[in-house]
A and B are shown apart, each in its own frame.
Chain A
Amino acid sequence: DTAVSQTPKYLVTQMGNDKSIKCEQNLGHDTMYWYKQDSKKFLKIMFSYNNKELIINETVPNRFSPKSPDKAHLNLHINSLELGDSAVYFCASRPDRGENTEAFFGQGTRLTVV
């Protein structure tokens, strides 16, 4: 069984469209994240959730709206897509809010905006 799964794996869409990426973890973790990895492979945190509650919004444009219906799911909706949104988006989860930094990543969603 996949621990952290994201769908879709690839997403090609036109500028101005709205799209969603789904993430589910079956590890029973409390904390989930969204990261954006650009072409230079820099992993930048976007959002952090703990038990469905938004903890961190790392100055991400309002066009990005995460939603966590329960602690096993964290989805990402993006409105009015722009060329600069092209990147790989990773969902990740971590056991708790303690010091453990072992995060488990999904396989990533490669978003291409044309």
Chain B
Amino acid sequence: GQSLEQPSEVTAVEGAIVQINCTYQTSGFYGLSWYQQHDGGAPTFLSYNALDGLEETGRFSSFLSRSDSYGYLLLQELQMKDSASYFCAVKTGDKIIFGKGTRLHILP
């Protein structure tokens, strides 16, 4: 079967750096994606890693290690607006499967 594991909650301080990990077990793996969802909002796409290594987009970076079936999302210079849930996701066949989400709490 397919599964994605990520921590349910992470807490960090404003201005700090936080890493949200994701381990996956899927068949036919193409790449790992990350989505952000604010309370009451819709999931929005953040990043996609198909190859090993780090991809940087502004304050957010995403990493993938295919050999370890592992990836992470790195958020730098945390702002209060980054308080949200973050989901890792994989495409398997014709569907996109999501992890259960990591709730990021940011303290002032």
Contact = CB atoms under 8 A, between A and B. Distances in A.
Q: Do A and B bind each other?
A: yes
Contacts of B101: 41-43
Contacts of B44: 105
Interface residues on A, range: 20 to 34
B66 interface: no
B95 A48 contact: yes
Interface of B: 30-31, 33, 37, 41-45, 48, 50, 85, 87, 89-91, 93-98, 100-101, 103
Query: Which DSSP category, helix, strand, loop or mixed, fits chain B's interface?
Result: strand
Nearest to A45: B95
Interface of A: 31, 33, 40-43, 45, 48, 50, 55-56, 58, 90, 92, 94, 97, 99-108
Contacts of B37: 41
Given A41-B100, A41-B101, A42-B100, A104 B45 contact: yes
Given A101-B33, A101-B89, A101-B91, A45 B45 contact: no
Residue of A41, A45, A107 with most partner-chain B CB within 10 A: A41
A45 B96 contact: yes
Given A43-B101, A58-B95, 8 more contacts: A41-B85, A42-B100, A55-B94, A90-B42, A97-B94, A99-B91, A102-B48, A106-B42
The 10 closest A-B pairs by CB, nearest first: A105-B42, A43-B98, A99-B30, A101-B33, A101-B91, A102-B45, A55-B94, A41-B101, A45-B95, A105-B43
20 contacts: A31-B94, A41-B37, A41-B100, A41-B101, A42-B100, A43-B101, A45-B96, A56-B94, A99-B30, A99-B50, A101-B33, A101-B48, A101-B89, A101-B90, A101-B91, A102-B45, A103-B45, A103-B96, A105-B43, A106-B42
